[in-house]
Each structure stands twice: as structure tokens, then as C-alpha cells.
Chains A and B, each alone.
Chain A
Amino acid sequence: MKKIAAALVLATALAMPGLAYAKDLTIEAQIAAYRGPNTFLAIYVTKPDGSYDSTLWVAGQNQRYYRHLRNWVRGISSVGGNIDGISGASVGAGQTLTVHASLADSMIDAGYQIHVDSAVENGGEYANDVVMPLAQASSGVVATGTGYVQSLTVNF
């Protein structure tokens, strides 16, 4: 179990000062059991129109491999590509990644979605391995991934 705490002050929250009530999230990503090097993961949020909004966490510090997290890289490229302070170690097979994040209340139940891209060096790569609506009803619901993420749970 990896415990990683990320204190995020998100641009969206600052842009709407009247609604700056933050909601704490705990995201748990259970990685499938496979043989091979660690998984690279990007956990990020998209806007109601499907465009990229913000990054919650990147697991894997070697940026040369980020291009395999394709949907996320495309998104972060569109906003300038700064990922300072939101990355940590890649995650081994069978392990669980836990991320704490903080989002503005206004983003809940507003059409935003949480995405996870996953990739393994010299292995497969899955853009949108898991996509989950950022909705109160999804809290605690276990979503199944199509790639290296076996399951994803978001609690808020």
C-alpha cells in the first residue's frame, strides 16, 4: 500500500473565490497482478466538455515514458505541460496506489470526470484505462479498469 499525500490547490478553485470550499478525495487504484516492470499512471480530471482540466497525480518519475500515457499527455500539453509537485514513484504489479486530493465543491456533480491512463515499459498502454464521473453517487463505488488498473475507488 502506497500512501501518498498531495496537497493541491487547484486553479479551478482559485478562479471561483466565492465557492472555494474544498472537498477532500481519497483515490485508491488497485494495480492488476502481471509480470513486468512497474506501472506508470496518470490520474486527471476532464471538464464537462471532455477537455482536460487538471492533474491529480502522476505515478512514475521518468518523463521520457509519459508519452505512453497518451490521453493525459495530450491534455496537459494543451495547458502548457507543467506537472511540478504532483508525481511520485511508479507502482508495482499487485500494489495499491492511494492519492489524497482536494477539489472545489463546485466540481462535484457538475459533469467533470476522473480519468486514469496506465502504461508499462515495453508492454501495453491504456489511455482512459478507467473513466469515472466526479459525482457524489460514485463515492465508494468500485470501478473496473480495462488495462493495468484492476479497480479504482474514489471516496469523498
Chain B
Amino acid sequence: MLRRIHSLPGLLAGLLVMFMALSGAFLSLQPAIAQWQVGTAGTQLDVAALSDAVVHGLPDVSRIVKQASGAVIAYADGAAGQLATRIDPSSGAALGPYETSPVFAFMTEMHRSLLLGQGGHVVAGLAALSMLVLSISGGLLLVNRLGGWSRVFGAAKGTFQQRLHVDIGRIVLVALLLSAFTGAYMSLVSIGLLSTGQDSFIPFPTTADGGAPAPISGLAALQALPLAQLRELVFPAPGDPTDVFAITTNAGQGFVDQASGAMLGFVPNSFGQTVYEAFYTLHTGQGIAWLGLVLGLAALAVPVMSVSGALIWWSRRHNQPRLKHNVAGGAADTIILVGSEGNSTWGFATVLHDALTLAGHRVHTAPMNSLARHYGKARRMFVLTATYGDGAAPQSASRFLSRLERFKPRPDLAFAVLGFGDRSFAHFCQFADEVGAALLATGMDQIQSSCTIDRQSSQSFAQWGVETGTRLGTVLHLVHTPRLPRTTRLELIDRDDYGVEVQAPTSVLRFAMPGAKRTGLGKLLGLGSRLPRFEVGDLVGIVPPGSPIPRYYSLASASRDGMLEICVRKQTGGLCSEFLHALTPGENIDAFVKSNPDFRPGRGRSPLIMIGAGTGIAPLAGFIRHNRHHRPVHLYWGGRDPRSDFLYAVDMAQCLGDARLARFEPAFSRTVGGRYVQQSLRDDVDAIRDLVAHGARIMVCGGRDMAGGVRTALDDILAPLGESAQSLKSTGRYLEDVY
């Protein structure tokens, strides 16, 4: 719901909000320019002395205006209309003609009303309101997403667009909130929906002295007013002794008798007017140039936020599957409820829906948030759910547990929960466990106990289908094919083989576009096919012949290297690794790139501790080879035998030589006194504590067992610092790529 509140105004008013933000950013320069032109005033005159000096220079002056920037402008009636003159605030001397900038005047009107008059004020007000809704809902989503107020500045995760949206959003949120709130308020006032309590004009006094005008320098009320508090002073009509000075100050409006110098009928600003003026200042930054510039800079982020937000919305929508034969809840015998954040769980739900439908069931599939109070004919209920962040409910299940309290199941309704998650996270499938427990507490029977699927494993899902089918007495053939991006055909150009002697055949494989080695006109012109874009640490999905399910490998090269390099250990019976190991140069694979932005060294000069075992060295070696700025990298790696599976030995020696690598600690398990990489870490306790204390970022790549051992070792090593693998992870300093 919150997400819908966030995306709806974003999509509907996106262009309008962008326009308002950009015009606002441009206008934010105006106070800064004005303040810069005025400079800092020296001595402060009172209004009587200033007016006296102005009258000497400009006898026909009819009005003096002091702007928020401190600039003083005098208007005089001349033969050719009104003349505006800049006045030196510290002496009252005329400085030269004053000209308003037509560009800023035009942009101000565009920003306030899009040059559409009163209707335009309404449109501008709607834009401010949209911005306000976006800021508030965005802030709440941010807190939800990052797991609470205390973590609002924690590391953002997700695709590039999502991280951009979150990272920029939390920087500019407060500024945008201020602009939007003050802007919406000002619009309401200018449309007339809000009153400042000062909606009528202040009548002229009818009690003017009428005597001979006194010299302006002697008027007491003007003498008492410092220039800093003046807004506007309008002179009486020449030759009319009953006329008065009309004066506007920071505090209110009044009139000054030109004979007695007394203040007549001063009306202080109402509370509403004071609030309005404060909001006006906060919104425009007039007189507070730095604030204006800060708000303007924040506004520049709005187009980035709009575009990235729209792309995020589109990819989420695009991934939502369409269900065939989805029966209404009241008529279905089988209910499937889905708790999904990024829609991947919907893919599994669709497969289950189709298989059950094929088996003759009448199936109703819906988000978990759509749980009804009861299902009249249902006998089976499947709950497929992911877990979001730190064990929280995913988007489409956020209200499930509260709805469950009112749920009245039929006595013969049985359920099964299937959790989806990533075992490398501390709260693996925690929400699914909670849902399972809550459903049991309703007294329903279980078809089978809760199961979990790690990292969208299609194999585990198929296995679950077999077990569930057995219990239901039907055959459930669940073939889940992740929706694959378009694959690219790549040609093996080169391979290095290791580890055969230690029963761990491992190959470094390098691929390029087919025919890339050919030289010729096409290549010279850059025609034909290029590698898809990827960075070191991204994943390549390879679809082996005979299986629709891709296997993922970490990349040791970036697309600008002109080739795609992976490191593959041959798994006995492993369809894809056997296929890859059997390849000879010139043969082709079908592959696609999957971005893995959460596993990158990031910018900065802080040291990096890289830890890997076996083929886990591939992305780490890639990062090190690209470490041209000589950021200190400390590599701990574990293999079996230096004579057989010492992957990247030559490369790493070169990198040590030219300081791309600061330190390399290989550990080998099949040698005399063999050891694992965790032991190297424990031997280097002091060095590691020192690096972490200096802000080091830790990157771990390799198998699950190794990663677990490394976590335990680092928890022990870092305990005296009050840190742990989990605490570093929460601040984005502990990255894992584990398989």
C-alpha cells in the first residue's frame, strides 16, 4: 500500500514534479546572485536618514523598497514612466538604474503558475502536494527497506537503480520535504484555501495632522526604524498635506504622518502572516542564499529520482506473471498465497498453479495480503513466501499476519508453507517460519511440514513438488524455469587447466564474441557484435545443453578487457561444469550477464581484505588485476597443492610486483602441514584487526563451508574490537559471494 502511495504520484506527476524541481533549482541561484551583488553593508542607517539621502538624489521618489537580499531600490515618477534606481544601503546615494532580470521573472512565473494564471497555481500546488506525498512515503519506505530508523544510513542493496534511488533519496529527503511542504502551503494560500488571517487591506488613517510637512529626516517614526527592518516606504502624493507615508516593516504595516512624524494605525502581522513569511523565506531562500542553494541542489536530484523510480516500477511490473485459469477464492478447492518482494516467488507460484490446474484442481492464486476471511470450498492452502531484509514480511505479505487473526478456516482445510530465501543471510526464511507457526496456531492440519528453497533452486522446488504430490495423491511435476534474459553466443578462445592431480579439475576459461579474433574491416569499424556490458564480480548465467536452468559463475574480467573469464571446477555429475570442461577453443556457449552490484570493492582508499578458496579466487583476482590505483589489497586464498591447483599464481605474482596486490597469503591443504585459509587468518590476527580498525572492507568468495569457517574465524578475531562479520555486513563492509 505504501509502495502504491509512493509510485502513483511519482508516475502520474513525474514530469510535472521534475519541471518544478528544475525550475526551482534554477531560481535558487537568484538569492545568491542578489546577495553577492549587494555585498555586506557597512554602517546601518535608520529609515529617516536613508530616505532623506534618497530624496536629495532623487527629488521625485515615490517609493523605496528594501529587498530580502538587502538591496535598496527607489522608484521615482519621471516623464517616461517609473524609474527604478539602486541605492547604496549604507549612504542612501544613487548607484545607477535597477533592472529586474527578465529570465528570473519568467522562471518565477513558470514555477508559480506555469504561466496559466490561477489554474496554474492549482497545478503548481498539486506538484508540491505530489512531492510531499513522495517524500513522506519514500522516507517510510526507506526506513522499511533498511530495517528501521537506526539503520537509515546503512548500506543500500539491490540493483543499480534501486541503490541510486535509495542513496540519493536519503541525502535529499529532508531538503525535498522542506521545499514540498512550504511550497504546498504557499500554493494553498495563493489559491485561497488557506488564510493567513490577514486577508483584507489595511485602511488609510483618516486622522492625518494636515499641517505643513516636516523634513523627512526629522520624522520620529522613521528615525526609530533601522533599515534592516524596512520592507517598503511609499511617499505621500506631492502637495497633499492630508496624505501620509505608507510603511511596511518586518513586523507589520502602518502609516506615518508627514507633519507630526507619528506612526498612525500600525497593524502588526497576524500569526498566519508571520508563518507565511517564514515559509516563503524557507522556500525561496531569499535573504538566506545558502539555504536556497542547498534546496536547489537537492531539487536537481529529482529528475534522477523520477527516472530511476520509474525504471524500478517498470521492472517490478514487467516481472509480474500472468496467471491462466485463476479461479475465484470462493470457488477454488486449492488456494495458493504468495509473499513476494521482487516477484521471483511469483514465478514458482505460477508453476505450482499450472501443475495443480493440470492435475484437475480449481486453483486460486493471490498475494498473501489478499487472504480472505474464509474460503468456502478450499481443502488445501499453499503459502509460498520470501523473507525481506532482516526477517520481515515481503511486500505482498505485509498484512498477512494481522489478517490471519480474523481467518476462519474450514475444519478440513490443510496447509503447507514453502519458504524462499538465501541461506547466506542470518534470517534465512524467518518470515516463512513465522507464517508456518501462525498457521499451525489456527489449528489447521499441515499437508507437510514447512520446507525451504535456497536461492531459487529449481531442483529443490521440483523435489518439493514430488513430495507434496505424493501426499496429495497426484503427480506434481514442477519444472520452474527462471525467466532468462536473452542469451549471447560466446566462443571459447583460451583455457588453462589446473588441479587434475589433486582430484579437483579446475579450468580458467576465456570467452569472446564469435569471430572476435578475426581481423578485418568489420572489426576495425567496430561493427558486428560486442560483448554485453559487465563488471568484475558480476555473474554469467550459462545455459547448458539439455537443461533450461542456468548456472551462474562469478566473472574474473570486465567487458572492457575484451573477454569474459570464469573459473570452473568440474563437479562429478554436474551438467554444466562437465559441459564447460569438455569445451575446446572455438566451441560456443549461450550465456547472459546478471549484474551483482552488491559484490564490488566500491570507491575509496580504504584497505581491502579479500578471502577466497578454490575457484572463489576468480572475481578477487579480477578486482586485483584492475586495481590500478594501488589500493592496499590483502589476499588470503586456500587451495590444495601449489604444484597442481595454484590458480592465478602468475597473475598474482605480477600484481604483487607492481603493488596492485599488497600482500598474498596462500594456504594449501594437501601439503605437509596443510591448512585452510581460516588458519591463515587466525595467524594474522594483529594485521587483520589493524586493517579493520582502519576501515578495511572484507570480500569473501567461495564455497559455503569455507565462508562459514571464515565468518567464525573473523568473529573470533574481531571480538576485541567489538565487531563481527554480521556487524560489518550491516554497514556494507563485509561482502560475500558464496555458492
Contact = CB atoms under 8 A, between A and B. Distances in A.
Contacts of B206: 77-78
A65 to B, nearest CB: 8
Interface stretch (A5-13, A19-27, A35-43): A35-43
Given A77-B204, A127-B237, A147-B82, A67 B105 contact: no
A77 B203 contact: yes
B241 to A, nearest CB: 14
Contacts of B253: 67
B75 interface: yes
Interface in B193-251: 196, 198-206, 234, 237, 243, 246
A147 B202 CA distance: 24
A71 B234 CA distance: 12
A36 B113 CA distance: 11
With a 10 A CB-CB cut-off, give which of A61, A74, A126 has the most chain B CB atoms.
Answer: A74
Interface string B67-95: 00000000100000110000000000000
Given A74-B243, A126-B82, A81 B203 contact: yes
Contacts of B203: 73, 76-77, 81
B118 interface: yes
A125 B201 contact: no
B106 interface: yes
B192 interface: yes
Interface in A29-65: 35-38, 61-64
A35 B237 CA distance: 28
A74 B255 CA distance: 11
Interface residues of B, number: 30
A35 B106 contact: yes
B109 interface: yes
Contacts of A74: 204, 243
Given A35-B106, A36-B105, A61-B192, A67 B202 contact: yes
A70 B106 contact: no
Contacts of A125: 63
A124 B81 CA distance: 10
A64 B198 contact: yes
A89 B204 contact: no
A133 to B, nearest CB: 20
Interface string B298-337: 0000000000000000000000000000000000000000
Given A61-B192, A70-B234, A147-B82, A124 B202 contact: no
B248 to A, nearest CB: 8
A109 B691 CA distance: 98
Contact of B201 (A73, A78, A124): A73
A58 to B, nearest CB: 10
Contact of A63 (B81, B118, B201): B201
B117 interface: yes
Interface in B29-84: 63, 75, 81-82
Contacts of B81: 146-147
B102 interface: yes
A76 B206 CA distance: 11
A123 B234 CA distance: 14
B201 A67 contact: yes
Given A74-B243, A77-B206, A92-B117, A37 B109 contact: yes
A156 interface: no
A64 B201 contact: yes
Contact of A66 (B102, B201, B234, B237): B201
Interface in A59-112: 61-64, 66-67, 70-71, 73-74, 76-78, 81, 89, 92
Nearest to B253: A67
B199 A63 contact: yes
B204 A78 contact: yes
A50 to B, nearest CB: 10
A63 B203 CA distance: 11
A78 B242 CA distance: 12
B201 A38 contact: no
A67 to B, nearest CB: 5
Contact of A70 (B105, B192, B200, B246): B246
B193 to A, nearest CB: 13
Nearest to B273: A64
A49 to B, nearest CB: 13
B117 A124 contact: no
Contacts of B105: 35-36
A67 B192 contact: no
Given A70-B246, A126-B82, A63 B204 contact: no
B204 A64 contact: no
A36 B109 contact: yes
A142 B156 CA distance: 69
A146 B84 CA distance: 15
Nearest to A36: B105
A146 B78 CA distance: 10
B235 to A, nearest CB: 10
A64 B199 contact: yes
A2 to B, nearest CB: 11
A147 to B, nearest CB: 7
A35 to B, nearest CB: 5
Given A66-B201, A77-B206, A146-B81, A38 B117 contact: yes
Contacts of A126: 82
A120 B431 CA distance: 62
A63 to B, nearest CB: 5
A89 B118 contact: yes
A50 B118 CA distance: 35
Interface string B542-561: 00000000000000000000
Contacts of A73: 201, 203-204
B184 to A, nearest CB: 18
A67 B100 CA distance: 22
Nearest to A91: B117
Contact of B246 (A35, A64, A67, A89): A67
Contact of B102 (A35, A67, A81, A89): A35
A112 to B, nearest CB: 19
Contacts of A62: 190, 192, 199
A74 to B, nearest CB: 5
Contacts of A70: 234, 246
Nearest to B106: A35
A73 to B, nearest CB: 6
Nearest to B100: A123
Contact of B82 (A61, A66, A81, A124): A124
Contacts of B205: 77
Nearest to A92: B117
Interface string B251-291: 00100000000000000000000000000000000000000
A45 B113 CA distance: 33
B73 to A, nearest CB: 11
A36 B109 CA distance: 7
Nearest to B65: A122
A3 to B, nearest CB: 16
Nearest to B115: A92
Contacts of A124: 75, 82
Contacts of B100: 123
Contacts of A76: 203
B514 to A, nearest CB: 62
20 contacts: A62-B190, A62-B192, A62-B199, A63-B199, A63-B201, A64-B198, A66-B201, A70-B234, A73-B204, A77-B204, A77-B205, A78-B204, A78-B206, A81-B203, A89-B117, A89-B118, A124-B82, A126-B82, A127-B237, A147-B82
Given A64-B196, A81-B201, 13 more contacts: A36-B105, A37-B109, A63-B200, A63-B201, A67-B202, A71-B237, A73-B201, A73-B203, A74-B243, A78-B204, A125-B63, A146-B81, A147-B81
Interface of A: 35-38, 61-64, 66-67, 70-71, 73-74, 76-78, 81, 89, 92, 123-127, 146-147
Q: Return the 10 tightest CB-CB contacts between A and B, nearest first.
A: A77-B203, A66-B201, A77-B204, A74-B204, A63-B200, A63-B201, A81-B203, A124-B82, A35-B105, A67-B201
